[in-house]
Structure 1
Amino acid sequence: MSVVPSSLLPASAAPAFRGRIGRDVHSGHYAVPHRYRLHIAPYDPGCLGIAVTHSLLGLDDTLPLTVLPETPDRPDGGYAALRPLYEASAHLYDGPAAAPVLSDGWTGRIVSTHVPDILRDLALRFRGEGPDLLPEELRGEIEAVTDLCERSVNRAAQRAGELGLDGEAAHRDPLTVLFAALGSLDRRLARHPYVLGTAPTAADVQVWVTLVQLDTVHRWHLDAAAMDRVAGYPALWEYARRLAARPEFAHRLDIEAVMRHHRAHCRGREAAGAAIRLVDWPGTRV
């Protein structure tokens, strides 16, 4: 397992534990029922992706999952319940004990805090009878969709919200990127029930979590005209609603926690798009 010591990271960052689950007993960490545990925070998009993957694979009886309290209970923004795992895994650790964490019950240490690695290991090492979320022939496309969501939806929406407060011309460029990405996803979903065809893959987990973020966090900083454009992708938002009706996707979704966390930590100003909600996400109070 590799870990970057906290002394080499910015003060606000937790170390990135990058252990992996191997194929067999010679790997050190290998898939054994009940050996590992996942710890997730209800407001974090990476944690939501892990929870959805966990549910799709039906891992409740194999790999227990703990949902931490909505509000971290330590002044540094970490969780007291995770503190022993961090201290056992990094010598003289003095940073926040943050989620997500994949922990090893045999050693009492952390395997990984790195969301992409955790998602890959769940899909490849703990699949069991669940769907193949990372089929070999689609891995390149899954990586491309993941990159599109992160760069051209999440980052573009955030950037557009920031620039929209400073001037129309600056606001326009990231919105162009955002609309192009949403259009690309909408065209895919107009042809197939899932992003890459007729069966769910890791790409669907990524896209759905991204749409949750767009409709619950980013809309607060986009103007009404931008949100009207965002709403204009019917196949994409019908897909979001359809998956939200499935218990595998909705079970761990806590929209109220997402919104409270956003309001508590965001320093941006609200824009007119805040009034436009595109999906009645499960558990949302009117």
Structure 2
Amino acid sequence: MKCILLSHDLSGKRIIITGANSGIGLEAAKLLAGRGAEIILAVRNVEKGRGAKQTILKDHESASMEVMLLDLSDLESVRDFSTQFSHRYDTLDILINNAGVMVPPHQYTKDGFELQFGSNHLGHFALTGLLLPLLKRTPTSRVVSLSSIAHRGASILFDNLDGSNGYKPMAFYRQSKLATLLFAKELDNRLKEHGLNVISLACHPGISATNLFKLGGKDAPNFLKKLSTLFFQTAERGALPTVYAATNESLTGGEYIGPDGSGNRKGYPAIETPAAGVYDRETMKKLWEVSEALTKVKYDFHEFSKL
């Protein structure tokens, strides 16, 4: 089923985009700012975030944006960001869990988690839980989490989440993106079970030529970047599933949005079916429990009571 992007006005909508200083996050911020949304660029490098803001302002002079520090590999930073945001704002319409790292050497976060699982999944799990009170307070709010076609064939290595018993960069990247997909679906299930007016969706960009691709932790050579544009779609096209998931009013939660082309690698946004058997109830439940234990963030699904 092919989806057509909507062009409705987003004035009055407040959106957090993690990792919005480059790649998919930056392109999504451009598109959403262009529709009038207020964008919070939640970034690990504030200088780069300010540069991204200026880039967006060149095309959208009246755009409302703020740059805020957020390091998803540091749970203290996640808590600090959530506290500052909650003190500054009383609503949140859309949270886009976009930031990610891909196939680095074996490294740990500040809290001792394997870097990809810790940043791509656990950091966003904690962030979403800490911001849930604001999402509950905001009518028709939603959470959009970026997964990947790399979830296909992946599994959650519960007995080796930190990679101490063996580490393969791509296998752990796949794990982190499968975890993101399962989190998005399980979150939506729990929101619906509690009758909350918040929805959760997942999306993926296909294969996009962004600076997520690293070789040994360094940028890929320029010739590889140029070659990639022949086979992968641009970051701008790769951002379309994110924008669609964030704004399409016909979505009811739990959907997975990706490109509609061959292998879902390129194309326009469409509602997609994940790999067969992905939504295993026991795995989703265990992942949620493990994530709560590791992050020490407990989700409050009680209906928000107005004062």
More helix by share: 1
What TM-score, normalized to structure 1?
0.31
More strand by share: 2
What TM-score, normalized to structure 2?
0.29
